[in-house]
């Protein structure tokens, strides 16, 4: 749940595609948690991805992710009803060609990174040219 975005999505476990990138949910209203990494609230970095839009231009679950600013609250509820509260610390846009492995691998705290598409649509590759990552830390 992201109160500022009025977002309350189902979290689905995701792995990797054949090319090694993170899988994303089929539905534009769900988000995908990178199941090969930390769970939200565990030490390490939990990564959750969601669509910015759909095939017909409709808003996806993370359509307004870029509007999250440092200090914004993010809540993640597990299957047992436990809610981890995270605070946004930063956001960054990455080109597709940049090594983003650090987004998935930090072990120096309890982090949550949210990812969505940004940039121009590449018709040939059927994807956006950039990725937006919002970095958040567990609120203590």
Residue ranges of domains in the chain, CATH in brackets: 3-138 (2.40.260.10)
**What are the pLDDT digits (tens) for 101-131?**
888 887 789 999 999 999 999 989 888 999 9
d(CA 17, CA 81): 30
Question: In the predicted model, is pLDDT for residue 7 greater than 90?
Answer: no
State if pTM tops 0.85: yes
**What are the pLDDT digits (tens) for 59-109?**
999 999 999 999 999 988 877 777 889 999 999 999 988 888 888 887 789
63, two tokens: 């359509």
Q: Could you tell me how many helices (H) and strands (E) the chain has, helices first?
A: 1, 7
Residues 35-63 have a mean pLDDT of 93
Burial of 80 (0-12, 13-18, 19+ CB in 10 A): exposed
- 12: CB partners within 8 A, 6+ apart: 25, 30, 31, 32, 33
């Amino acid at each position: 749940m992201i109160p500022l975005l009025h977002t309350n999505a189902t979290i689905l476990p995701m792995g990797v595609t054949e090319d090694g990138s993170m899988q994303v949910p089929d539905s534009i209203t769900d988000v995908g948690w990178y199941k090969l990494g930390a769970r939200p609230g565990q030490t390490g970095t939990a990564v959750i991805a969601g669509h910015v839009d759909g095939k017909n231009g409709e808003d996806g679950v993370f359509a307004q992710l870029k509007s999250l600013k440092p200090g914004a609250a993010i809540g993640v509820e597990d299957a047992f009803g436990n809610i981890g509260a995270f605070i946004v610390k930063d956001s960054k846009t990455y080109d597709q060609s940049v090594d983003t492995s650090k987004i998935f691998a930090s072990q120096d705290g309890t982090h949550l990174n949210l990812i969505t598409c940004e940039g121009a649509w590449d018709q040939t590759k059927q994807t956006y040219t950039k990725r937006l990552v919002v970095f958040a830390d567990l609120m203590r």
